[in-house]
Amino acid sequence: MNISDIENLAELAKIGLTDEEKENLLKDLDSILGYIKQIREVKTDEIIPEDENGNVWREDNPSARQDLAENFSREKIVEQFPDAKDGFVKVKKIL
């Protein structure tokens, strides 16, 4: 990378940079690209993954939904709420 690359990136990003900022950005980007190059050189051919990615979806179980519905029924929620009237819960006014 060179200063003209930085100026092109700054123009694409629609930002203004001083000469000092361009130099600092060039140093930072060179450092980042150097680190990426270092990572790419790591040999991973012999590394065996510890677990394989697989299907994490579960089968739909209607009985589980029914149990959940019973535990969170409207009546149970209203009866546990400290202030309720006519089957509705009363809350403070929010503005």
8 within a domain of the structure (yes/no): yes
Q: How many domains does the chain have?
A: 1
Please name the residue that has the structure tokens 């009985």: 63
Domain of 18 in residue numbering reads as 3-40
Q: Which tokens is 14 given?
A: 């629609």
Asked whether residue 27 is assigned to any structural domain, the reply reads yes
Q: How does pLDDT run across 22-58, given as a tens digit for each residue? A: 999 999 999 999 999 999 999 888 888 777 667 677 7
Evaluate whether residue 85 is within a structural domain: no
- Global pTM exceeds 0.85: no
Please tell me the distance from the alpha carbon of residue 83 to that of residue 79, in angstroms, as a whole number: 9
* Beta-bridge partner residues of 88: 85
| Token pair 């309720």: residue | 84
Q: Does residue 59 sit within a domain?
A: no
> Nearest Cα to 82, choosing from 90, 74, 94, 92?
90
In CATH, what number is assigned to the domain containing residue 7? 1.10.20
Banded pLDDT at 68 (limits 50, 70, 90) = low
What's the rounded Cα separation, in Å, for the pair 7 and 18? 10
